[in-house]
A and B are shown apart, each in its own frame.
Chain A
Amino acid sequence: MPSRARGWLAVAAVVAVGVALTFGVQERYHHRVLTLVFLWAAMGLSWNIISGYAGQISFGHQVFFGIGAYVTVLLIVKAGLTPWIGMIVAIGVAVLAAVLIGMPTFRLAGIYFGLATLAYPLIFRIVMDWLGFQEVAIPMKREQPGWFMQFSDPRSFDLLALAVLAATLMLSRAIETSRLGYRLRAIRENEQAAEAMGVDSFRCKMIAYMLSAAPAAVVGAVYVHAILFIVTPEAVFGLLVVSQTLVVCLVGGTGTLWGPVIGAALMVPASEILDTTVGDRLPGIQGVVYGGALILIMLYAPEGLYWRARQLLLGRAGRGTDAARSAVVAPAQHGAAAVAPMDRALLEVRGVSKAFSGLQALSDVSFDAREREILGVIGPNGAGKTTLFNVLNGFLAPDVGQVRFLGHDATGQRPSALCRLGVGRTFQVPRTFPHLTLSENVMIGAFVHVRPVPDARRLAHAALGRVGLADRADALPSGLTTLDLRLMELARCLATEPRLVLLDEPLAGLSGDGVAVMIGAIRSVRSLGATVVIIEHTMQALLSLADRLIVLDQGRRLADGTPTQVTQDPAVIEAYLGKRWLARMGGR
């Protein structure tokens, strides 16, 4: 694959430039700056795995850096073990720490996760103080300097740091191009949609966290030997470590291999130069200038320099063809238009109730969805329709009652687990992964059954073709019409090979033509053999589309029957228009 080769070539180019600089610069001080650039780039990349790709912003990533530093140094001091082996032990300890930290902390979402991560380095600082490791110096090993990472030639540290950077780049590259990488980005973009597409978000985040801990530990170990020589809790677990990591990533750009590299290449020398120039004349001013530069970059390139540059370079090529597209290709009908529902129940809902702080959203709802049936769920505002869907696909667990799918109890399972069993869904407002192309969006669904990326891409293209979006496979969701977004969501759902498709208001906000295309697409889903359950407000369309309607009102099942039966049911008319309307119109 050309793009794959290009990625490795770029890593090789970084290494070549790094080696050239190592042998190009003369002064000892410049070598130190070079080492720092490589190490902070690697540290930024390690943070980027969990916070960039997976979007779980961590403010405590220095915990692994500190573990790397302390474990290697303590092993030298206490056991005389070489840091080359000590580093491997440190990786093990850091990964174990990631598991122990991740277990409780990934229960928190968004900013709460970030705030919780602040606590762990603090704990380590206190523990280190308490254990009496306020200051641990690396003992000099004059007889075996290389074996104890005590080089006299500064180029050795440059090369060591460059090797760490290259290894971290390769790890990041491998993650970026794997199923895990796609899943992590999907979690970052929209965790609920990712779960609904079969991504076990907890597991993926955990793996990413473990993978991100390893390089941070190595960077910590090397940093101690190249720069610090004496470990203190403040120096390795302190806030300065994580703030430097954040600066490097935010300036360069997150969620990409190159962001931290660019950020480190710019900001590390910049702060050193400021220290030695303006800082000499006006002590302290370097911090002000550095902060000012940071604010300017954040204002003009809030997503980071890499993304800004990319946007400027690719901006024009990315857009344009949108207007050329008129009506969407109607999806191909498979076999005969009419496919009769079968008698066997695919989904059985039994006595489901769900309350939210006193509000009874669902009470004692029971119904079946038969195989190959198109079942409509309707009801006035607040009837509990969306709550019902969230129970069916696992976003919510019912308080009472049971949901059985394919004859097995599926009550309270995670959405990702239900998706793997064959429950797919779409959302009222399409939930895309905005920074992924359409084909990548759909690939997230396809990954439920295949692991290799090329296979998933092939399945995604097939699914996009089925809804008539093959020509838009490489577009980003942002330029799409509502109809195209809904079709894409349907394709993403179909790529998971669902037996049951839950559609949350698929016709909302569509024009007349759009409604016709969408109805055609929904019919074709059924002709593929799936069962469809639709929530809708646009009753007119459901009348011709659904085999059967269920009416919910105030959380209860009010009526159930063919569309004609239901719309003539006085109870339904009352629920929608009120008792007095029924009384007025009763005579007609």
Chain B
Amino acid sequence: MLAIERLGVSYEGLHALADVSLEVAEGEFVTIVGPNGAGKTTLLKAISGTAPSDAGRIAYKGQDLGLLQPSARAALGIAHVPEGRRVFPSLTVMENLELGSYRRTARAARSQGLEEVLALFPVLRQRQRQLAGSLSGGEQQMLALGRGLMARPDLLLLDEPSQGLGPRIVEQIFETIDRIRRERRLTILLVEQRVVEALELCDRGYVLETGRVVLAGGREALLADPRVQRAYLGA
């Protein structure tokens, strides 16, 4: 479904990604782990079009995303749940969710989509009239996830859903992601720092270090590979 070949991204002259190639098949759950500064967020941004790539190729369902605007990529079915959640703080929970269904195919099924998301996150139903900015961090993460799902995406990009959250909330979020995946047969690309939790969810994983893929493999292989630790600690 997603094929990335030799992708390179630089910000203000800094090479954030160099020569990254990876693939995600339809229905697959792929996790990317790696230390801070490895380029994980940049990779997702390059896919959703919010960071410009300067080398390589990103193909989605066989189509070269090339110079497509982020909005056009969203219309193709790519939903990006960004790092730090980025909900619209001065809009209500309901308005945030409705904005998620802006995509044409999702607009038609808005009420159905809303019902599904609220069923997935009951807490959002209780808080639907509340301003998103007044939610706790965990609730905001759920809202960001829900907003992503409202677009009825085919490919869901998740950037560090665990960031800044307590252990119990994190567990809950990861459980929900697993449930979404089982119930909807979505293709998911997850970026995480929490190595074990994120790898346990996936079919396959990649380890990113200073902008390069240093390790790739199946779930069990990566979970047992001490080289993963080397990417983080260097020894």
Contacts and interface: CB of A to CB of B under 8 A. Distances in A.
B138 to A, nearest CB: 16
Interface string B54-88: 00000000000000000000000000000000000
A291 interface: no
A509 B196 contact: no
Contacts of A326: none
A276 interface: no
A429 B12 contact: yes
A363 B229 CA distance: 27
A578 B35 CA distance: 12
Interface string A403-433: 0000000000000000000000000011000
Given A381-B36, A537-B35, A584-B196, A577 B16 contact: no
A573 B196 contact: no
A329 to B, nearest CB: 20
B184 to A, nearest CB: 27
Which among A485, A509, A511, A539 has the greatest number of chain B C-beta atoms within 10 A?
A: A509
Given A505-B37, A537-B35, A580 B14 contact: no
Contact of A380 (B13, B14, B36, B235): B36
Contact of A581 (B13, B14, B229): B229
A509 B14 contact: yes
Question: Which size bracket describes the interface of A in this complex?
Answer: 20 to 34
A537 B36 contact: yes
A543 interface: yes
Interface in B133-174: 163-164
Interface of A: 380-382, 429-430, 480-482, 485, 505, 508-511, 537-540, 542-543, 563-564, 567-568, 572-573, 576-578, 580-581, 584-585, 588
Contacts of A578: 194-197
Contacts of B194: 578
B34 to A, nearest CB: 10
B177 interface: no
Given A381-B36, A542-B234, A584-B196, A577 B14 contact: no
A430 B13 CA distance: 10
Interface string B193-232: 1111100000000000011000000000001101011001
Nearest to B83: A381
Nearest to A481: B13
B6 interface: no
B228 to A, nearest CB: 7
A540 B234 contact: yes
21 contacts: A381-B36, A429-B11, A429-B12, A430-B13, A509-B15, A537-B38, A539-B35, A540-B234, A542-B234, A543-B234, A543-B235, A567-B235, A573-B233, A576-B229, A576-B233, A577-B195, A577-B229, A578-B195, A578-B196, A581-B195, A581-B228
B233 A567 contact: yes
A539 B233 contact: yes
A426 to B, nearest CB: 13
Contact of B234 (A480, A485, A508, A539): A539
**Which of A485, A577, A584, A585 is the most central at the interface, judged by chain B CB atoms within 10 Å of its CB?**
A577
A382 B194 CA distance: 14
Contacts of B232: 539, 576-577
A572 B14 contact: no
B154 to A, nearest CB: 29
Contact of A564 (B15, B38, B210, B235): B235
Contacts of A573: 229, 233
Nearest to A568: B235
Interface in B1-60: 10-16, 35-38
Contacts of A482: 13-15
Residue with the greatest number of chain B CB neighbours at <10 A, chosen from A485, A564, A573, A576: A576
A3 B13 CA distance: 33
Contacts of B11: 429
A483 B193 CA distance: 28
Nearest to A541: B234
The 10 nearest A-B residue pairs measured at CB: A509-B14, A539-B234, A537-B37, A580-B196, A381-B36, A540-B234, A567-B235, A576-B232, A482-B13, A567-B233
A481 B12 CA distance: 10
A431 to B, nearest CB: 10
A510 B228 CA distance: 22
Given A537-B38, A539-B234, A581-B228, 5 more contacts: A505-B37, A509-B13, A537-B37, A543-B234, A576-B35
